Chain A
């Protein structure tokens, strides 16, 4: 009986990575290596104002004096930062990005079609029931298309590639860029600040509830490049937005670097919901290839009663180093972190969150579900910090790990620092495996062993999955199936 679920698990786990193809488009790529000249190259290519170049140079100088962090529970050979190219854009596109979809290389459009990302608005509208989603599609270092811009403009919402925002709304970008994640924040954030190429900029004006989901899809395509995108979302007084992020990359034997920075700013009564389904190429069974995912995500609840919620489903990447955090500055602001991290084969994930309580009566919730299978290592690392000023603050954290197989590891590193007696902080964690009894029960009710496993894992992750917007929840459920189901024994 022991063998059945295990083999079912293995079968499920051995499903290939669906998004591993390469799109053959001519691209304009910067020469290998990283120096101040690289930054000037990127800045010129993007036609940037001089303040941004200075900002990049400052970040680069800071980065050269910083050490790569080694405290995370991940192991990888030293990265040669000079062996990668820091800019790659599909050729033939006009410098500031295509004006209409007809300008976009049809190969790229086909790529997004294959990935299931709708870029043609009329097609999306033709879908009768599906709610519409505005998409910013980032291909290597540039944004190739942004949909529903006109519709959004009617509400005064700005949704565009950040390189365009730099030119069109410089005051706003200058005001908020680096205000949540400063250039010297950490090694990878400094690197990103120096060489970031594209990403999305979102501004929701006061009192506006964004009428549709906003989404960015990141695709790494070119060889020997890294992707360094920068996303900045600002929700003004009383505004609210739900934002989705997806990603994938071709299947390659070399490791590729992805170091993104995401900054969220929520003013009084604003609310931002940020959801990610991370599905970078995880490497093959033996751990060859895959994306190194070193991401800094942070949200600042600056205003009173503001709210930021992070939901992530992490299934891809050879290495994940990611801690979406909330700075709860405004009184009565709310932070939330819901995460499912799945690792299989030789994947390593070190992910978690930081909740910094500054304002009075701030509240935060952390729910983290880690699932490790194969020979993978999966760590939750979190910090809950209650400052003296945060009277009446509340935090509840729950971290559960599920182990599938006897060669993987599941680790929990929660840190709680409390300086305020009226604050309540609670943390709970458990580690377990899928029991034979649970499987047996499901199977004797007529479920196949795969379905039984899917049911149990679905139940384990339910609290997180139900936080995802509908379109994503379906996708995430499928992904979990692919990356995981059946590895249980």
Chain B
């Protein structure tokens, strides 16, 4: 989907884009504000596929022990990743690196279709390096019965718009963990359809923002079949004039009994110019369900700060420690252990 298509979507559903106004956020004045640092990136994985300016670069990529037929297609028609029945790539986490250079076009539209056959397993980390031009991602994911897709995502900066549409069949499992940083702006949107009985989804994320960053996580989980489970858990740390948005929604269809849904958004506001807007919604049409949501916004606990300072830590160290603690459970529960170093590096935290 191109930028124009995203803008068109936004204009058609203003309520869903209430906090993220693409026209102002993507205006030339907003975009040219500050260039982003392009740091070198060391990919720790054996399988690393690099896309430069939206085009797959075989020369910069390595497939490791993964067959190269995993990735098909081209920029215009979209790329596809297909895993046949019973294929398991969990032991070989795949990393997709998206980078841009001075030859980048005005915008980089990316289109992916990922499909996993019965019982297939895939773990994939999308790593979006800081980009000066808007990147828009449209990804559709199809999971056959009992397939498992472990999906990670890091956005290191720049204007970024993404829409993931996931269809999960019986007994399949989809999990996503996204880290959004230095985004001016970012919209990370999920539409997850639990179509088969017993399907599970777990959406997690960290928005770690400062300056004039703006990040919007919108996650809609549709329980279309009985006995499905969904989890949404997002943490935001907002400093300076950053603005975080969380819009979560669980919709339970009339016959989707025994649904178990949970969503939580927690945010730390570290400055009096920062803003957090959250909208955790439940839309329930079945009676035998358990759905809960929670939401909290606040500052660091002054008592905890005082305690740490009384133990000899200076103000900054104490605050950093508390922020790390706030994010700890999200980082500790990453589904692929090897992602830990990438996430921690991006957050500027010491490796464990």
Contacts and interface: CB of A to CB of B under 8 A. Distances in A.
B282 A411 contact: yes
Interface in A377-395: 386, 388, 391
Interface in A382-417: 386, 388, 391, 401, 403-417
A369 B281 CA distance: 16
A437 interface: no
Contacts of B267: 418
A427 B294 contact: yes
Interface string A402-444: 0111111111111111111111111111111100000000000
Interface in B271-321: 271-299
B94 interface: no
B272 A406 contact: no
A contacts with B: majority SS: strand
A416 B294 contact: no
B271 A415 contact: no
Contact of A415 (B269, B279, B284, B290): B279
B221 to A, nearest CB: 14
Contact of B290 (A404, A426, A431): A431
B15 interface: yes
Contacts of A425: 295-298
Contact of B284 (A410, A417, A420): A410
A71 interface: yes
Given A425-B296, A425-B298, A431-B282, A415 B277 contact: yes
Given A406-B254, A426-B296, A433 B288 contact: yes
Given A421-B270, A432-B290, A401 B284 contact: yes
B298 A424 contact: yes
B278 A411 contact: no
Nearest to B286: A406
B281 A412 contact: yes
A436 to B, nearest CB: 10
A420 B291 contact: no
Contact of A416 (B278, B287, B290): B278
Contacts of B275: 417-419
A419 B284 contact: no
Contacts, number: 114
A414 B279 contact: yes
A403 B284 contact: yes
A411 B284 contact: yes
A412 B288 CA distance: 17
Contact of B287 (A405, A417, A426): A405
B254 A407 contact: yes
A106 to B, nearest CB: 49
A480 B195 CA distance: 37
B298 A411 contact: no
A406 B287 contact: yes
A432 B291 CA distance: 7
A384 to B, nearest CB: 9
Contact of A421 (B285, B292, B294, B298): B298
A215 B293 CA distance: 37
Interface in B144-189: none
A404 B299 contact: no
Contacts of B295: 414, 416, 425-428
A409 B278 CA distance: 23
A430 B284 CA distance: 11
Given A411-B284, A431-B284, A433-B288, A416 B297 contact: yes
Contact of B293 (A406, A412, A422): A412
B297 A423 contact: yes
A428 B257 CA distance: 22
Which of B287, B293, B294 gathers most chain A CB within 10 Å? B287
Interface string A106-131: 00000000000000000000000000
A347 to B, nearest CB: 15
A439 to B, nearest CB: 14
B295 to A, nearest CB: 4
A403 B254 CA distance: 12
Contacts of A416: 276-279, 295, 297
Shortest Cβ-Cβ A-B pairs, 9 listed: A421-B269, A421-B299, A403-B287, A427-B295, A418-B297, A412-B282, A419-B275, A409-B285, A431-B291
14 contacts: A391-B272, A403-B286, A406-B288, A408-B285, A414-B280, A414-B295, A415-B277, A418-B297, A419-B272, A421-B274, A425-B295, A425-B297, A427-B295, A431-B284
Given A71-B15, A403-B289, A419-B273, 9 more contacts: A403-B284, A411-B284, A412-B282, A418-B267, A418-B275, A419-B275, A421-B271, A431-B284, A433-B289
